[in-house]
Structure 1
C-alpha cells in the first residue's frame, strides 16, 4: 500500500473515532461508543505502520493536524457548530502546515513493499 494512502486511512479512522465520540454522548450510547474504541484502535494501529515509513515528526504533525482540521469541518457539517473568523484562520494555517509537511522530502526507512 502506498505510504500516503496508509497515512490517509489512519487519519480517516481517527476522524471517524472523534466523530463517534461526539455521537456517543459521553459513552452513554453503545454503538457510537464501540465506534470510538474501534476507530481509535485502528487509527493507532495503522499509525504504528505509518511510523515505519515516515519520521515521527512528520507523520504525527500531518496526522494530528489533519485530524484537527477535519474534525472542525465535521463539527460544522454534522453538528451545526460554528467557528469564528479567528478559528477559521487557525484551521487554514494548520492546513497550510500539513501541505508544506506533505511536500517535504523524507528518507524512507523501509520500502513500500514492506508495509503491504
Structure 2
C-alpha cells in the first residue's frame, strides 16, 4: 500500500507542477486551485509513504519519476524540447533510482 501512496503523491505533484505554468503566476483561478490542491494531496500521500519507506528512497523515486513525467508533459502539452545533455542527465537520475531499488537493502 505504501508504494501506491507514493504513486498517488507523484501523480498529484506532477499535475500540480504542470498546472503551475497554466496558473500564470497565480493570476488564473482554476489552474491555481489545481496547483494548491495537487501539492496538498501530494504532500499528504508522501507523508503516508514515509511511515514505511525511508525518506531518501521515497524522495529519490519521487524525484526521478516526477522529472520524467513533468518533462513528458512539457513536451506533449507545452511543446518544450530537451537536448541530449538534458535527456542524459534525466536518464542518469532514473538509473540512480534503479540502482537503489535493485541493489540497496535500504529500499526494502
- Decide: shared fold, TM above 0.5: yes
1:51 aligns with 50
Q: Which runs of 5+ in 1 are unaligned?
A: 109-116
Say if 2:22 is the partner of 1:12: no
Answer whether contact 1:75 1:81 (CA < 8 A) is retained: yes
Q: Does 1:33 align with 2:32?
A: yes
How far 1:107 moved relative to its partner? 7.2
Partner of 2:87: 88
* Residue number in structure 2 paired with 1:99: 98
| 8 Å CA contact retained: 2:101, 2:107 | no
**Paired residues of 2:2 and 2:48 also in contact (CA < 8 A):** no
Q: Give the corresponding residue for 1:114.
A: none
Q: CA deviation at 1:66?
A: 1.6
Greater relative CO, 1 or 2 (CA 8 Å, sep 6+): 1
RMSD: 1.5
In the TM superposition, what whole-angstrom CA distance separates every residue of 1:83-113 from its partner, at most 9, and x where no partner exists?
Answer: 11100111111111222223344477xxxxx
From the superposition, tell whether residues 28 and 5 of structure 1 become closer, same or farther in structure 2 (CA, over 3 Å): same
Tell me, which stretches of 5 or more residues in structure 2 are unaligned? none
How many residue pairs end up in the alignment? 107
Closer, same or farther: CA 59–107 of 1 in aligned 2, 3 Å: closer
TM, length-normalised to structure 1: 0.84
